[in-house]
């Protein structure tokens, strides 16, 4: 791992974190950043070099009170134990696979989320939209990265479609195999900046990571073991140093995040529809053919398309399902089965 002796600034230290130090009044402790979480140890980096810390902080507390990769923690200089986790700028988490709905922390304090998609038949607006919802929900700055521009004559058409997703959305088109082209992303990868990436299989995430890491390519695909869903995932969770001085947080789970508990992200990405729906005459309007439906009115006025409304409905249903308890899910399953029988 690449956490040799680094200054706090190089590691991503910000006023947001230093301001918390004065409040905590813990003069015996110093800040370190969590670089890797292994089963038996947590590796942190800070002034004075990397340290290995025994896990155990947060035992008995809620999942969110455990340290995760990207966290800033205070470490007691005498005992070498974590004394605090500083409040996070943002946090990626998910429900663990399986029925018990336990929360798993994935990554903290990410500055930029690269949402990766390729300029070919795999390009899908609904898929990009899902990742965008996630980014807005977590409160991380999203950048759409379109790869494989070298394989199309019309890269601009893909970029235009992506830019249409939300006003002001940043979109960069690159050939992920070409360092000169991938350098378009360097302004988010500079000293002290932390990036993470999401995108479906085959879009070029590993290729891009290797290009951004330059000489320091991914340590031969880490160790692969089957997780409890039977799929293969890498077991290391760590921060990788990027050529331009930033950090890449590439953890298992980051790549296959589901839409769970993302109601605020959904509302942010579909603000146009949500705002229209608030103007409907009936508060329980289904936006079909009810009188006074402001959503149908907005469609008639060209504010958004019927397809966009359909996508929003599907995502709202999916998020409700993923966020439901097992009992609520069974009820939703029964409703869906009954609806299918009526068709």
Ligand X SMILES: Nc1nc2c(ncn2[C@@H]2O[C@H](COP(=O)(O)OP(=O)(O)OP(=O)(O)O)[C@@H](O)[C@H]2O)c(=O)[nH]1
Binding positions for Zn(2+) = 280, 285, 287, 293
- What x-and-dash track marks residues 143-172 binding ligand X by CB under 6 A? ----xx-xx---------------------
Residue ranges for the binding site for GTP? 147-150, 199-207
Nearer to Zn ion, 269 or 309 (CB): 309
Residue ranges for the binding site? 147-150, 199-207, 280, 285, 287, 293
SS (H, E, C) the chain: CCCCCCCHHHHCCCHHHHHHHHHHCCCCEEEEEEEEECCCCEEEECCCCCEEECCCCCCCCCHHHCCCCCCEEEEECCCCCEEEECCCCCEEEEECCCCCCCEEEEEECCCEEEEEEECCCCCCHHHHHHHHHHHHHHCCEEEEEEECHHHCCCHHHHHHHHHCCCCCCEEEECCCCCHHHHHHHHHHCCCCCEEEEECCCCCCHHHHHHHHHCCCCCCCCCCEEECCCCCEEECCCEEEECCCCCEEEECCCCCCCCCCCCHHHHHHHCHHHHHHHHCCCCCCCCCCCCCCCHHHHHHHCCCCCHHHHHHHHHHHHHHHHHHCCHHHHHHHHHHHHHHHHHC
| Contacts to Zn ion by CB under 5 A | 280, 285, 287, 293, 295
Candidate list 48, 49, 99, 202; residue touching ligand X; CB under 6 A: 202
Q: How far is the CB of 177 from ligand X (least distance, A)?
A: 5
Nearer to Zn ion, 203 or 295 (CB): 295
Nearer to Zn ion, 21 or 285 (CB): 285
Q: Residue 289 touches which of Zn ion, ligand X, none (CB < 5 to 8 A by kind)?
A: none
Nearer to ligand X, 87 or 233 (CB): 233
The verdict on 175 binding ligand X (CB under 6 A) reads yes
The verdict on 205 binding ligand X (CB under 6 A) reads yes
Point out which span in 40-48, 95-103, 174-182, 317-325 binds ligand X (CB under 6 A). 174-182
* Interaction site with ligand X (CB under 6 A): 147-148, 150-151, 175-177, 199, 201-207
């Amino acid at each position: 791992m690449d956490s040799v002796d680094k200054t706090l600034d190089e590691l991503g230290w910000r006023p947001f974190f230093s301001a918390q130090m004065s409040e905590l009044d813990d003069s015996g402790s110093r800040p370190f950043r969590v670089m890797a979480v292994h089963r038996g140890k947590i590796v942190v980096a800070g002034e004075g070099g990397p340290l290995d810390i025994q896990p155990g902080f947060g035992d008995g507390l809620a999942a969110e009170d455990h340290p995760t990769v990207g966290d800033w923690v205070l470490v007691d200089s005498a005992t070498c134990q974590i004394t605090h986790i500083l409040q996070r700028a943002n946090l990626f988490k998910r429900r663990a696979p399986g029925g018990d709905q336990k929360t798993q922390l994935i990554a903290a304090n990410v500055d930029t989320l690269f949402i990766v998609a390729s300029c070919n038949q795999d390009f899908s607006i609904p898929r990009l939209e899902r990742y965008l919802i996630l980014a807005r929900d977590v409160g991380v700055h999203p950048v759409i990265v379109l790869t494989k521009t070298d394989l199309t004559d019309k890269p601009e058409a893909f970029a235009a479609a992506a830019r249409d997703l939300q006003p002001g959305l940043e979109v960069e088109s690159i050939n992920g195999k070409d360092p000169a082209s991938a350098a378009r992303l360097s302004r988010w990868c500079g000293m002290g900046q932390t990036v993470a990436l999401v995108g479906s299989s085959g879009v070029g995430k590993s290729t891009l990571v290797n290009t951004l890491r330059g000489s320091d390519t991914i340590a031969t695909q880490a160790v692969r073991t089957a997780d409890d869903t039977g799929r293969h995932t890498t077991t290391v969770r760590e921060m990788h140093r990027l050529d331009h001085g930033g950090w890449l947080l590439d953890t298992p789970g980051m790549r296959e995040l589901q839409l769970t508990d993302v109601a605020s992200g959904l509302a942010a990405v579909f603000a146009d529809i949500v705002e229209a729906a608030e103007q409907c005459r009936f508060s329980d309007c289904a936006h079909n053919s009810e009188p006074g439906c402001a959503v149908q009115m907005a469609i008639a006025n060209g504010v958004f398309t019927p397809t966009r409304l359909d996508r929003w409905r599907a995502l709202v249903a999916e998020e409700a399902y993923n966020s439901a308890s097992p009992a609520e899910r069974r009820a939703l399953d029964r409703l869906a089965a009954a609806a299918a029988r009526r068709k």
